[in-house]
Structure 1
């Protein structure tokens, strides 16, 4: 397979595919969207530029930890997510910057994730930043950073699903 050029619509379709995999709890296929050297970050609320070396992040995963997280959430022993939450993810205002480094496509978008579980509806809002790369397997995520635009995790209380 040869590497083909990436179009704006191809990037948008990729993001929608990522959201669909998460909503369908196809977490192993979702983890496969990341490169081997990938990172997935959710910094503390109100500190989007925090350093993982000096701040406690909600998520600071390498590709292998991401895989472990996906496998763990799919088990019945993951009581907080068994049965699984029902989620709907939406990406809005997708901005693509492919000017700075031709090998990395930088994407930023607003997101809304609605979750219902145990007769409760939670809504998570924020901005997601992606560094995407084109590989022979297709577009892959090299880095994903999720900035939550919430005052606190209340009434949510916890993040037990993948944003």
Structure 2
């Protein structure tokens, strides 16, 4: 089932809106049952998750757990929640075959918390699946285009 560029972009905008509004359980539901969410190391963006330490390497269960945990008051690093604003640009459909779509886009995520603004920039690679005429995320890989994670040295939110 072929999807138009506009349909794919609308799906990506919806994903970003869910994250900005802290609707993390709804965000997790965008993934297939075997979906994954990856953030490779800064110095080795093509690393193999089986042999390298990733910032995030979540299967569907782990990303659901991450979403639930971040919504709790006990997640001190994100309570109260950061304010975020996400932008995507240069959305490119790399391939579309049967019900599989590979998409790449650039992103900027602005995060403000305790009077500090952090900016995360990079590239997001999606492997999307069409299930029952709806788009689902099979894999989302976030490749940060940063020299380092400063000033905090960590990623405490979903990018």
Q: TM-score, normalised by structure 1?
A: 0.94
Query: Which portions of structure 1, spanning 4 or more consecutive aligned residues, are displaced by more than 4 angstroms?
Result: none
Equivalence map 1:1-163=2 (5 Å): 5-99=2-96, 101-136=97-132, 138-163=134-159
CA-CA distance at 1:36 after TM superposition:
0.3
The Cα offsets for residues 25-76 of structure 1, whole Å up to 9 and x where unpaired, read as 0000000000000111000002111011211100000000000000000000
Unpaired segments ≥5 residues, structure 1: none
- TM-superposed deviation, 1:89: 0.4
Query: Partner of 1:107: helix, strand, or coil?
Result: strand
8 Å contact from structure 2 (residues 124, 141) kept in 1: yes
Deviation at 1:94, TM superposition (A): 0.5
Q: Is the 8 A contact 1:122 1:156 kept in 2?
A: no
Q: CA deviation at 1:158?
A: 1.1
Q: How many angstroms does 1:114 deviate by?
A: 0.2
Q: Deviation of residue 137 (structure 1)?
A: 6.2
Q: Deviations over 1:97-118 (max 9, x none)?
A: 234x332100000000000000
User: Aligned partners of 2:75, 2:133: CA distance in 1, in Å?
Assistant: 31
TM score, norm. by length of structure 2? 0.96
Report the CA distance between 1:8 and its aligned residue. 1.0
1:131/1:142 contact within 8 Å kept: yes
Measured in 2, the distance between the counterparts of 1:62 and 1:42 equals 12
Once residues 139 and 146 of structure 2 are traced to their aligned partners in structure 1, the CA distance between those partners, rounded to angstroms, is 22
